[in-house]
Amino acid sequence: MSWLSGDQIGRSRATVMIVALALFNIGFAFTLIWVAYVAPQPGAFNNSAAALPDFAAFWAAGRLTLEGTPALAYDWQAHRAVEVAGLGRDFAGWMPWHYPPPFQLVVTPLAMLPLWPAMALWVTLTLGLYLWVCWRILPDPLALAAALAAAPTAIILVNGQTGFLVAALLGLCLLVIDRRPVAAGIALGLIAIKPHLVLAVPFALAAGGRWRTFTAAGLTVIALAAVAWAVFGNAIWAAFVGSFNDTAGVFVGTAVGKARWEMVANLYGWARFQGASFGLALALQAVLALAILVPIMRAWHGDRLAPALKAALLCFATAAITPRILNYDLHIILIGALFQVRHALKVGFFTGEQLLLGGAALAAYLSILFAPGVAWMLATVLFAGCWWGHARRSEAASQ
């Protein structure tokens, strides 16, 4: 049975649409790379942060580490000076380093290369891992095409962000959690570079009694912190803690530079974009998080639901409840969609499911191309649709 067969969308038509979108995504990304990085023309765009890849922040942190001053990665002025040197020109604004010290263990070897080869290597390695995990979830060429066609793919190819890596680690965790719970915990612990993206996962693990995975994840985080301390010393941790005010300023919108709420793909970011205060926006996000945490914990409690369905619901849930998720982080939702399709292939698609998935893909593009109005709804709508379409049917069948 094809994962996009049935009366609603034929396999051949779906193949054409997905492959065409994947090719468009890749072509669009390389066009932007050429215009912004390879053959830039004099003008305001090329002096702005828009023409600066996010990976420059990773590379600069690694270079400062290689120079024996890892703690300076959290000094915005010193860090920016290294970015300017690596880029070969100045730019407006800031591209600071907010990540915890263990991530410097990863980016420092990359900084032994010049900025652009290092970014190419980073994107290649993380994209390869992401595609491999997608294939493991759903071994179908269309799954790989869908992974490349996903809206954030072009963004990450251009800016070198962490979206491929985080989505791959979460997908790998959920793939092996039943057979190899410790390995799943290690994969989850490695997401300590962006722990806010998986806030729903500990609640699900606790509700499901997955204590081996829970413990392995915690020990992995502790081990990474210990290695970073042993390699970099106390100063880097003091600098990291000392940077919290600046990092909080980015989240609240009081940091130097204009807050780019259009990139924040959750309810909090949408509310701030509409002019809501920090307190009101955060309260709305908290209400949504509580409304989703209750059913996700119920879903992971016991064996009523199939593993692939639990995985899909958890991916959607963790993307919906996080207080900060940007448009380049939305591959987590694609991982959930692949698990959802994997489950549907065994039990059948519910009415409208394929249209739901296709509509979510379109909405992802709209949310990136235009100001946010639908981005924050993606994970929530997919969670609700998957819950009512599959989870309720599974629970009814088990009774």
In a domain, 299, yes or no: yes
In a domain, 31, yes or no: yes
Report the alpha-carbon distance of residue 358 to residue 382 in Å, rounded. 11
- Over the stretch 159-172, which tens digit does the pLDDT of each residue have? 999 999 999 999 99
Three-class secondary structure of residue 257 per DSSP = coil
Q: What is the mean pLDDT of the chain?
A: 87
CB of 389 closer than 8 Å to CB of 353: yes
Report the alpha-carbon distance of residue 278 to residue 89 in Å, rounded. 35
- Over the stretch 120-162, which tens digit does the pLDDT of each residue have? 999 999 999 999 999 999 999 989 999 998 888 998 999 999 9
In a domain, 133, yes or no: yes
Containing structural domain, residue 85: 11-247+261-398
- pTM across the whole model: 0.91
Give how many domains the chain has, as a whole number. Answer: 1
Tell me the pLDDT band of 99, cut-offs 50, 70 and 90.
very high
Q: Residue 362's closest CA among 382, 348, 343?
A: 382
pLDDT for res 1: 41
In a domain, 202, yes or no: yes
Specify which residues 396 forms β-bridges with. Answer: none
Write down how long the chain is: 399
In a domain, 256, yes or no: no
Q: Residue 277's closest CA among 253, 243, 244, 302?
A: 253
263-277, 298-312, 353-367, range with the lowest pLDDT:
353-367
Tell me the pLDDT band of 370, cut-offs 50, 70 and 90.
low
